[in-house]
């Protein structure tokens, strides 16, 4: 039988213990009490704490086409905490189809404050196809004190070649805001027939960000498929990040960071990958299982579960 090696570097016992303790220290900052040891190996080495997760991709309120199981914010918060999520960056399903974006953003801010202060971090939205979207950016930042904004191109009627994209990148960059770009919400094959969601073209974003290379940009629900544009080059920019919610295929996270071979995948540094569940549309279990399924060591797990998101947003 042919055997295949997994390309995770062997870890010396002393190094392993040190890395494990790094994980424990990170968790202690998150304010969680002691939990069970992380692995059988870790049990043998002593005790440690499980790393809390920063979920960079959840949405609140009602999905327009189905009553989701965790549509109630209180229930969603409880569900996320059950799975050791310590912070969730929350957008709003209302942003997909609404015109009154300030109303959307105000309700999002209030909901986060009421049900998860310090836990639910509101990411308001702006719609480049609506006039005076710049004022929505200003209000998200100054009025609602949000650390970033999330756009939903395709549902919001523009692609990433919209003339406002460069201005949006410049504006968010100057204000130190994170721009989250959502590449999809559901499989287009099961869209409600009344919907006609436009394309979302990664290459256009790559070009737009060239003028603002230090912009903080996170790709959400991005499959890694770029239709010719260089994902690896884009993700090498200093403040870029992508979530894992849309990575598909066995070992997808590991393939992307190069710890395992298999189906073709763009290569991205582990420093650019962050946990994102796409809850409550997707089960939060799915994203955590991706981290279990892929062969990842302690440092890689810590970076994806918490460290990389914390680097982009040091204080929520």
Query: Which parts of this chain interact with other proteins (CB under 8 A)?
Result: 1-4, 6, 8, 35-42, 50, 53, 66, 68-70, 82-84, 186-194, 196, 247-252, 259-263, 279-283, 285-293, 295-298, 301
Token pair for 16: 């392993």
The backbone torsions φ and ψ at residue 263, rounded to the nearest 5 degrees and listed phi first, read: -60, 155
Residue pair 136/124 in contact by the 8 Å Cβ criterion: yes
CB-based contacts of 275: which residues, under 8 Å, 6+ apart? 53, 54, 55, 56, 243, 244, 287, 291, 304, 305, 306, 309
Q: Name residue 218's beta-bridge partners.
A: 180, 241
The backbone torsions φ and ψ at residue 85, rounded to the nearest 5 degrees and listed phi first, read: -80, 130
Q: How distant, in Å, are the alpha carbons of 26, 175, 178, 212, 308 from that of 137? A: 32, 10, 11, 17, 24
Q: Which is nearer to other proteins, 159 or 186 (CB)?
A: 186
Taking the complex as a whole, how short is the minimal distance between the CB of residue 94 and other proteins, in angstroms?
19
Taking the complex as a whole, how short is the minimal distance between the CB of residue 69 and other proteins, in angstroms?
4
Q: Which is nearer to other proteins, 134 or 186 (CB)?
A: 186
Residue pair 24/303 in contact by the 8 Å Cβ criterion: no
Taking the complex as a whole, how short is the minimal distance between the CB of residue 40 and other proteins, in angstroms?
8
Taking the complex as a whole, how short is the minimal distance between the CB of residue 32 and other proteins, in angstroms?
10
Distance CA 199, CA 184 (A): 9
Q: Which is nearer to other proteins, 149 or 304 (CB)?
A: 304
Token pair for 43: 């049990």
Taking the complex as a whole, how short is the minimal distance between the CB of residue 102 and other proteins, in angstroms?
29
Q: Which is nearer to other proteins, 127 or 245 (CB)?
A: 245
Taking the complex as a whole, how short is the minimal distance between the CB of residue 139 and other proteins, in angstroms?
31
CB-based contacts of 45: which residues, under 8 Å, 6+ apart? 13, 16, 17, 20
Cβ neighbours of 176 (radius 10 Å): 11
Q: Which is nearer to other proteins, 66 or 267 (CB)?
A: 66
Taking the complex as a whole, how short is the minimal distance between the CB of residue 107 and other proteins, in angstroms?
22
Q: Which is nearer to other proteins, 150 or 290 (CB)?
A: 290
Distance CA 196, CA 155 (A): 8
Q: Which is nearer to other proteins, 158 or 282 (CB)?
A: 282
């Amino acid at each position: 039988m042919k055997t295949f090696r997994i390309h995770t570097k062997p870890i010396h016992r002393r190094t392993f213990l040190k890395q494990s303790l790094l994980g424990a220290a990170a968790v202690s900052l998150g304010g969680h009490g002691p939990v069970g040891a992380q692995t059988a190996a870790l049990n043998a080495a002593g005790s440690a704490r499980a790393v809390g997760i920063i979920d960079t991709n959840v949405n609140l309120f009602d999905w327009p086409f189905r009553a989701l199981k965790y549509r109630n914010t209180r229930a969603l918060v409880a569900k996320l905490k059950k799975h050791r999520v310590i912070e969730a960056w929350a957008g709003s399903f209302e942003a997909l189809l609404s015109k009154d974006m300030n109303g959307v953003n105000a309700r999002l801010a209030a909901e986060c404050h009421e049900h998860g202060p310090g836990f639910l971090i509101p990411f308001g939205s702006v719609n480049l196809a609506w006039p005076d979207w710049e004022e929505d950016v200003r209000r998200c930042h100054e009025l609602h004190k949000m650390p970033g904004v999330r756009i939903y191109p395709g549902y919001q009627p523009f692609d990433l070649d919209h003339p406002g994209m460069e201005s949006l990148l410049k504006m968010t960059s100057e204000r130190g805001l994170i721009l989250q770009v959502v590449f999809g919400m559901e499989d287009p094959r099961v869209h409600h027939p009344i919907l006609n969601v436009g394309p979302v073209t990664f290459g256009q974003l790559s070009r737009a960000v060239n003028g603002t290379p230090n912009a903080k940009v996170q790709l959400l629900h991005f499959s890694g498929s770029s239709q010719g544009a260089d994902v690896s080059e884009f993700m090498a920019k200093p403040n870029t990040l992508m979530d894992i919610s849309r990575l598909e295929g066995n070992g997808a996270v590991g393939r992307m960071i190069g710890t395992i071979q298999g189906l073709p995948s763009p290569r991205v540094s582990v420093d650019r990958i962050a946990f994102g569940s796409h809850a409550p549309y997707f089960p939060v279990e799915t994203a955590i299982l991706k981290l279990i399924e892929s062969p990842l060591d302690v440092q890689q797990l810590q970076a994806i579960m918490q460290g990389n998101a914390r680097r982009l947003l040091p204080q929520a």
